[in-house]
Amino acid sequence: MYDNPKTVRTVVEGLLTLGVSVIVVDDGSEIAVSGLLYGLECGVITHEVNKGKGIALISGARRARELGFTHFMSVDADGQHFLDDAARVLAAHEGKNEIIIGKRDFDSVAVPKASSIGRFLGNSMVYLESGVWVSDTQSGLRIYPLSLFDEPFNSNGYEFEIESLVRHLQRGGSLRMIDIKTIYPEDRVTHFHKIRDNFKMTVLHIKLLIFRLLGVRK
C-alpha cells in the first residue's frame, strides 16, 4: 500500500477471513499503517520513503521466503479487488512454477478509449517479448512463485509487473488467467503517473524486445 488509509484495513480484514498469512508492505505512506491495522494479525513491512511498487513486491517476497513460503499472492490495498475474486485466484494455486493473474473484465465497465488502446499495445509488446499472449498484463491481483525472485530485477515501479512476467515466461514458466470482476471505486486512490510511468514502461518494453531479438535473457 501507499497512502490508502481508507481501504487498507478492510482489504486486510477480508484476506484474513480466507485463512492466509498477510504481509502488508507500507511503501512510505504519510499515515503509519501500524495504527490503521491495530488488532489485526498481520505482518507489516515499512519503507520510510516511497520506493515504488516493484520494490514493495520484492520486500514482501523476501519476507514471505523468510517465513518459509514458496509463493505469494499480491493484492492492491486500494479496494479495487473483490474478496471472492481473491479467493478464486487463491484456490487456483497448485504450487507450480506459474504466475496466476486475475484477468479483469473490461467489458462490464466504461473504459476510456485511450486506456483501451494503451492496454492493447502493452499486451502486444509482451507477446513480442515472450511469445505468449497475455490479455491483462497490469492486473495487480496475481500469484507469483518466489523462485522468480532469485535474481535481481531492473525495475522498481509499476513496470516491475511487466518485467517479472516477461522474464518468467522467457524462462519457461507457465501462466494462468482467472477471470475476475472490475471495480473502480469513486474514492479510489491511484498513484500511477500517466507520463512518468508510461515512459518507464515504454523504455522497458524496448529493452525487453531488443534483448529477445539478440537472444539475451536479462
Residue 148 burial (CB count, 10 A): 18
Establish if 3 belongs to a structural domain.
no
Question: What pLDDT is attached to residue 189?
Answer: 54
pLDDT of residue 198: 76
Q: Has residue 191 been placed in a domain?
A: yes
Residue 12 belongs to domain spanning: 8-214
Contact 43, 24 (CB under 8 A): yes
- In this structure, the dihedral spanned by the alpha carbons of residues 15, 150, 66 and 64, taken in order and rounded to 10 degrees, is 0
CA nearest neighbour of 98 among 15, 174, 162 = 174
Could you give the number of structural domains in the chain? Answer: 1
Report the CATH number that the domain containing residue 38 is assigned in CATH: 3.90.550.10
Residue 109 carries which side chain, given as an amino acid letter? V
pLDDT attached to residue 173: 95
Q: Which long-range contacts (CB under 8 A, 24 or more apart) does 38-41 make?
A: 40/9, 40/12, 40/13, 40/16, 41/16
188 in a domain, yes or no? yes
Residue 133 lies in a domain: yes
Strand-pair category, 142-145 with 98-104: antiparallel
pLDDT of 38 = 94
Spatial CA neighbour of 148 closest among 63, 58, 208, 66: 58
For residue 54, give the C-alpha cell: 516493484
2 found inside a domain: no
Could you count the other beta carbons within 10 Å of the beta carbon of residue 125? 20
Q: Measured on CA atoms in the order 152, 154, 155, 160, is the torsion positive or negative?
A: negative
Question: Domain for residue 208, yes or no?
Answer: yes
Residue 111 is predicted with a pLDDT of 61
User: Per the domain annotation, does 203 fall within a domain?
Assistant: yes
Q: Per residue of the chain (218 residues), what is the pLDDT tens digit?
A: 999 999 999 999 999 999 999 999 999 999 989 899 999 999 999 999 999 999 999 999 999 999 999 999 999 999 889 999 999 999 999 999 999 999 988 776 666 566 677 788 889 999 999 999 999 998 999 999 999 998 889 889 889 999 999 999 999 999 999 999 976 555 555 666 677 877 888 898 899 998 888 877 66
